[in-house]
Structure 1
Amino acid sequence: MKDGTKADYELLERLEKPYVALTADRVLDELRRQGDATLEGYRITRLDHGLQSATRAERDGADIDWIVGTLLHDIGDGLAPQNHDRFSAEVIRPFVRWDVSWVVEHHGIFQMIYYAHHYGWDENARDAFKDHPCFESCAEFCERWDQASFDPDYDAKPLIHFEPMVREVFARKAYDPDVIREGYVSPLVA
């Protein structure tokens, strides 16, 4: 890389733009792959879980950032099951408000309140973040939209319903300060 010229890097930048423009397509393809199979023991697929979560968020009156963040909160499961929350957050971080990506990044530890005691783990591990401005948002996200969305009988909306939202969010300029709104904590529902 250190031997590249300005012309080399201008060429790479120009050639990379079409690839970057297809990010939403790759994200949607990954969601579709998550519908092909479920993790052992679950009665629904990872896609079904994301669709249920996003449907609940939309029905609660959440805005597009929360809906897309909720849809994609577990998109990292396939490649990074041990740290899927952080992986998923990095996928959406350039395109959504900072509080949405923070919640997605930390939802794994917040979810432990529901099951950690069964493994002898600390169910209150999330308390390490009790002074963070997004603590309540993450707790509410988990309670309202995540932990409740493993129901094989829930009438979730199909992926095609959410595709325009995913495309809109990933069409945004990456890391636009007017989108990211660092420090602003948005309500989960209107």
Structure 2
Amino acid sequence: MKDGTKEDYLLLEEMEKPYLALTPDRVLDELRRQGETTLEGYKITRLTHGLQAATRAEAEGADIDWVVGALLHDIGDGLAPQNHDRFSAEVIRPFVRWEVAWTVEHHGIFQMLYYGHHYGWDRNARDQFRDHPCFDTCAAFCERWDQSSFDPDYPARPLAHFEPMVRQVYSRKAYDPAVLQEGVVTGLPPL
């Protein structure tokens, strides 16, 4: 790499554009794979869980960043089950608001409130983030959209409904400061 010229790297940048344009296809393919098997120990698939969370977000009037964030908040579960939250956040981070990416990145530790004590873990481990500006948002995300989305009878919208949103989010310029809005916290829509 160190011997590459500016012209070499401009050529590579140009050649990479078609691959980058297919990112939403790869994301959607991964979601479809998550629908092929039931989530171990649960009555639904990983895809169904994401669809339920996204459906709940949309039904509450959440904007596209929150809906796509809810849909993809566990996309990393297949490859990185021990740190799926951070993995999932990296999948969306270049394309959504900072607040959404932070929430997805930390939802795993916030979810421990509901079950950590059953494993002898600190169910209040999330309190280490108590002073973070996204604390309340992440707690609300987990309460309203994540922990409640394991219901085999919940009428979630199909992936086809969310596909245009995924494509729209991934068509944004990566790391655009106008999209990321670093440090801005708007929270979830009011109930």
Q: If the TM-score is normalised by the length of the shorter chain, which range does it land in?
A: over 0.9
Paired position in structure 2 for 1:174: 174
Hey, what's the Cα distance between the residues in 2 that align with 1:143 and 1:171? 30
Structure 1 letter corresponding to 2:54: A
Identity fraction in percent: 78
Give CA-to-partner distance per residue, 1:84-127, whole Å, 9 cap, x none: 00000000000000000000000000000000000000000000
Paired position in structure 1 for 2:93: 93
Which residues of 2 match residues 149-188 of structure 1 at below 5 A?
149-188=149-188
Q: Deviation at 1:10?
A: 1.2
Which residues of 2 match residues 38-187 of structure 1 at below 5 A?
38-187=38-187
Give CA-to-partner distance per residue, 1:147-177, whole Å, 9 cap, x none: 0000000000000000000000000000111
Paired position in structure 2 for 1:24: 24
> How high is the TM-score relative to the length of structure 1?
0.99
Structure 1 letter corresponding to 2:49: H
Hey, what's the Cα distance between the residues in 2 that align with 1:65 and 1:8? 35
Hey, what's the Cα distance between the residues in 2 that align with 1:171 and 1:40? 33
Query: After TM superposition, which residue ranges in structure 1, 4 or more long, deviate above 4 angstroms?
Result: none
Q: Which consecutive unaligned segments of at least 5 residues does structure 2 have?
A: none
Hey, what's the Cα distance between the residues in 2 that align with 1:174 and 1:37? 32
Hey, what's the Cα distance between the residues in 2 that align with 1:116 and 1:7? 53
Q: Which consecutive unaligned segments of at least 5 residues does structure 1 have?
A: none
> How high is the TM-score relative to the length of structure 2?
0.98
Q: Deviation at 1:38?
A: 2.0
Hey, what's the Cα distance between the residues in 2 that align with 1:135 and 1:7? 46
